[in-house]
Structure 1
Amino acid sequence: MNFPLYFSKKIAFSKDNKNNLSKVIVHIGRLSVALGIIVSLITISTGLGSKRAIENRISNFSGDVSVKSTRSNSSYNSSILDTKGLDVNALKQIPEVAGLQSYASVSGILRTETNFAGIILKGVGKDFDKERFQPFIVSGSIPDYKEDGYNNEVILSEKIANDLSLKANDSIVTIFSKEDQKPIYRKFLIKGIYKTDIKLVDDLYMIGDINHVRKVMNMGENEVGGLDVFLNDTDKIDNAFPQIEQYIGYRNYAEKVTEKYPQILDWINIFNQNITLIIAIMLIVVVINIIMVLLILIIERTNSIGVLKTMGASNAQIRSIFINYTLLIMVPGLFAGNAIGLGLLLIQKYTCFIKLDPENYFISTVPVDLNPVYIIAVSVGIFIVSGIAMILPSYLISRISPLKAIKYS
């Protein structure tokens, strides 16, 4: 028989100890562990989920990496991408690259009878990834851009459409202007309405035919303003980026999506900091609670410790008793915390009942990332850290004198 384990169960679950202080202490310890697990799971899953959702939205719209001409400036009008040294086929062969998409952009003004809005027309061509863009469509459909003549159908953001009281299948006049030239007017049909929840995108961009941008910018029929490079895994951007730079030519440069939108990078970094801070706080709280619980149990069982030592129990055996105490306190708390935490996260994942303001958070609902690695790591981490915290109280047991323990009981 395993004496330490038997004794731990006896004093923790004995019916004779129903109103015993140890019974209350055990429940307090389990509650603290369960709360630590719940808060940690929610923090990690929603934090990583939000981070990934924001990265995926912006990368699906603009690519993980953009290739531009070194002549590009701070304006939204594209400079012509230099083809010298640019090897598109080699870029497509990079293992991390999922696809390429050419584009050219020009700034303009949308005008209605009562209102107007500044926009950037992002012209795309026959390599436009409609499947990747489809999740952003809230009404209407995506036009076919075949670069055969001029397609007058565009995709407008929901934000701009609402500001101008427009909807799918409405017509809109766009005005483009260049230095020393008369304004250029184009009439477009709004084929679809999109929404990314990324304010920096929804406030500005309209998707249209690249040939219209080429005409306005006096570009050749095969010239483009840049390339959007999509990766299979956004997390591997640091590995893919140097390889991409090798095939773009010295007159072009590559830009990560996080560098293109530094405000979003700052927001993502806040998620990382918050996750680290909250988990650290919860670990400290759980450890302190476990230490306090064990110290109280030691004080309460001082007489029992003295008796056990008198009967020949070794210090190692007595320490094992209190280590088993920790297990009895923590394991049910771990199971309960995981059950409750995962239950709440699953409810949010499939119902999206907690909403956010995309103006401030770049997303409209709280996303959940149920990564099993992190879920297991939370439980194992708290278990190990709490176990290490057990070492000091267990050695204090060794210093208890049997004679004094029995004498003052």
Structure 2
Amino acid sequence: MNFTWWFAKKIAFGKSNKNNLSTTIIRIGQIAVAIGILVALVTLSTGIGARKGIKQKLADFNGHITVKPYNSNQSFNSDSILIHQSFYPKFDAVPEVTHVQPIAVKGGIIRTADNFSGIFLKGVGEDYDVKRFDSYLVKGKFPKIEQQKISNDVVISQKIANELHLDVDSSFVTYFIQETGKPIYRRFHITGIFSTDIKDFDDIYVIGDIKQVQRLNKWDENVVGGFELFTNDIEKLDEIAAKVNDQIDFQLYAQSATSSFSQINDWIAIFDTNIFVVLFIMMVVVVINMIMVLLILILERTHSIGLLKTLGATNWRIRTIFIYYAVFIMIPGLLVGNILGLGLLLIQKYYKIVKLPAENYYLSVAPVYLDPTQILILNLSAILISSIVLLAPSYLISKITPNQAMKIN
């Protein structure tokens, strides 16, 4: 057995260490470690959870990647593109793309007896990924889109429904302005109400049958406004979009959800900065406390250090003993911090106690993302960084001579 490891464990967990004057300092150090790892876990989990949650909403509602005509205008209204493309219905050239669905968008104005609202009708086909959308439905169901007939059923956002006093099974009239300047009106029936907590979507979108948009634009069934692509890795959308651009016709272009909503994406990037800052501060607090604990332990056991040197132990071996000693003291703090941190996160994950103002955070509930690998890396990093940093204060041991140690005793 390694002597330094055995000796450090002996003095750390031995009975002789129970009633020392250093016990209070050790407890303070352990509490600091527990608080540090708890705050780090909560910050890491909620920060990454928020980033992933917002990205997922942007991508789920608008597609991970959108393919449009290269000369597409800057408005929400769709330009025309033939549905017969080499990448539809399956994008074999880019294996990361798991699903492709055509869409078309047309602007209009909903008019009710006492209010009105500008909206965009987003038309989707029978191959629309309804399961992906179901998580945003707060009431009702998604319209049934069939190939052979045009559906008047739509889903609207909770915000539009509240403003216009509409509900499931209500109907409303929407006016669409044509190129001739003459308006056309259509009556729609509401089958469901959704909420994404993202203002860019909830303020303006109504989702219904793509054939409605085709008929309004006087397109035939082979013309759509664009395509939404979904991938198997939301963290690599820009890379996958570049691959898609390499494979599609030069008259088309692909844009990732992160670049389509660059302002929101820049705001999401703040989470990474916040996570780094909090983790750095917590690590500094833990390290400073462990340095304080180690110095006190060294001063308290000056006699033991002198005795070990008398028996022939080198400075490096004794320093290693005390670093192990400090790490053993950290372990209870790490365990308590992990238990409390994971407990709080699991409670939030399943009971959603902490709410957020959706207008500021794009999320109505504080998100939780638990990755066992990241949790393990966080704990190992705390131990490793503390061990390395403790090398500096342990240098004090080399200044203690056997004669001084015996005199002090």
Same fold (TM over 0.5): yes
Q: Which amino acid aligns with 1:391?
A: L
What one-letter code is carried by the residue in structure 2 that aligns with 1:161? Answer: A
1:169, distance to aligned residue in structure 2 (A): 0.3
- Measured after TM superposition, the shift of residue 393 of structure 1 is 2.0
Structure 1 pair 253–82 and aligned structure 2 pair: CA distance change class (3 A) = farther
Kept in 2: contact 1:174–1:187 (CA 8 A):
yes
Distance 1:207 1:104 in 2: 10
> Which shows bigger deviation, 307-316 or 295-304?
307-316
Could you tell me which residue of structure 2 aligns to residue 305 of structure 1?
305
Who is 2:272 aligned against? 272
**Corresponding residue SS for 2:81:** coil
| Corresponding position of 2:209 | 209
Quick check: 321-330 or 308-317, which moved more?
A: 308-317
Alignment of 1:391-402 (within 5 A): 391-402=391-402
**Counterpart Cα distance in 2 of 1:225 and 1:63:** 14
The aligned residue for residue 28 of structure 2 is 28
Q: How far apart, CA to CA, are the structure 1 residues paired with 2:198 and 2:255?
A: 19
- Identical counterparts, % of pairs: 48
> What is the match of residue 98 of structure 2?
98
Change (3 A) 1:147 1:272: same
Q: What does 1:140-151 align with in structure 2 at a 5 Å threshold?
A: 140-151=140-151
With 332-341 and 110-119 compared, the bigger mean Cα shift is at 332-341
- Map residues 186-265 of structure 1 onto 2, 5 A cutoff: 186-265=186-265
* Deviation of the 1:382 alpha carbon: 0.5
Q: Which amino acid aligns with 2:78?
A: S
Q: Deviations over 1:376-403 (max 9, x none)?
A: 0000000100010121122220121222
Q: Is the 8 A contact 2:60 2:133 kept in 1?
A: yes
Deviation at 1:253, TM superposition (A): 0.7
1:54 CA displacement:
1.2
Q: Match of 1:363? A: 363
Alpha-carbon distance in structure 2 between the residues aligned to 1:89 and 1:250: 19
Q: What amino acid maps onto 2:347 in structure 1? A: I
Determine the C-alpha separation between the residues in 2 that align with 1:363 and 1:7: 52
Contact 1:111 / 1:172 at 8 angstroms: preserved in 2? Answer: yes
Q: Who is 2:125 aligned against?
A: 125
231-240 or 209-218: which moved more?
231-240
Aligned residue type for 1:113: A
Secondary structure, counterpart of 1:21 in structure 2: coil
Shift of 1:18: 4.3
Looking at structure 2, the residues matched to 238 and 179 of structure 1 have their Cα atoms a distance apart, in angstroms, of 35
- Displacement of 1:257 after TM fit? 0.3
Distance 1:364 1:123, change over 3 A: same
- In structure 2, the residue matched to 1:289 is 289
* SS of equivalent residue, structure 1 residue 99: strand
Q: Give 3-state SS (helix, strand or coil) of 2:253's partner.
A: strand
Query: Quick one: distance in 2 between partners of 1:96 and 1:9?
Result: 51
After TM superposition, give the deviation of residue 235 of structure 1 in Å.
Answer: 2.0
- Indicate if the aligned counterparts of 1:69 and 1:79 stay in contact, CA closer than 8 A: yes
> Which residue of structure 2 lines up, in the alignment, with residue 181 of structure 1?
181
After superposition, the Cα gap between the structure-2 partners of 1:292 and 1:131, relative to the gap in structure 1 and judged at 3 Å, is same
User: Does residue 379 of structure 1 match 2:395?
Assistant: no
How far apart are residue 13 of structure 1 and its match?
Answer: 4.8
Q: TM-score, normalised by structure 1?
A: 0.94
Cα distance in 2 between the residues matched to 1:268 and 1:332: 35
Distance (whole Å) between structure 2 residues aligned to residue 49 and residue 240 of structure 1:
22
Q: Which amino acid aligns with 1:242?
A: A
Secondary structure of the structure 1 residue equivalent to 2:247: coil
Q: CA RMSD in A?
A: 2.1
Pairwise CA distance, 1:3: 5.4
On the 8 A contact 2:126/2:146 being kept in 1, the answer is yes
Secondary structure of the 1:155 match is: strand
User: Where does residue 164 of structure 1 map in the other structure?
Assistant: 164
- Aligned in 2, Cα 1:240/1:72: closer, same or farther, shift over 3 Å? same
Deviations 1:248-292 (A, max 9, x none): 211111010011112220121011111111111111111111112
Mark the CA change 1:85 to 1:349 in structure 2 (over 3 Å): closer, same or farther: closer
Contact 2:89 2:100 in 1 (8 A): no
Q: Distance in 2 between matches of 1:110 and 1:331?
A: 62
3-state secondary structure, aligned to 1:60: helix
Amino acid at match of 1:104: A
Q: CA deviation at 1:12?
A: 4.2
Aligned mates of 2:162, 2:291 — CA distance in 1: 58
- Tell me the secondary structure at the aligned position of residue 391 of structure 1: coil
Shift of 1:309: 2.4
CA apart distance, 1:368: 0.9
Q: Distance in 1 between matches of 2:148 and 2:85?
A: 27
- Quick one: structure 1 residues 216 and 327, their matched pair in 2 at CA, closer, same or farther if it must change by over 3 Å? same
SS of the aligned residue for 1:174 comes to: strand
Q: Give the Cα–Cα distance (whole angstroms) in 1 for the partners of residues 20 and 291 of structure 2.
A: 19
Partner SS state of residue 285, structure 1: helix
1:84: how far off?
Answer: 8.7
Distance 1:17 1:96 in 2: 58
The answer to whether the 8 Å contact 1:171/1:189 transfers is yes
**Paired AA for residue 269 in structure 1:** A
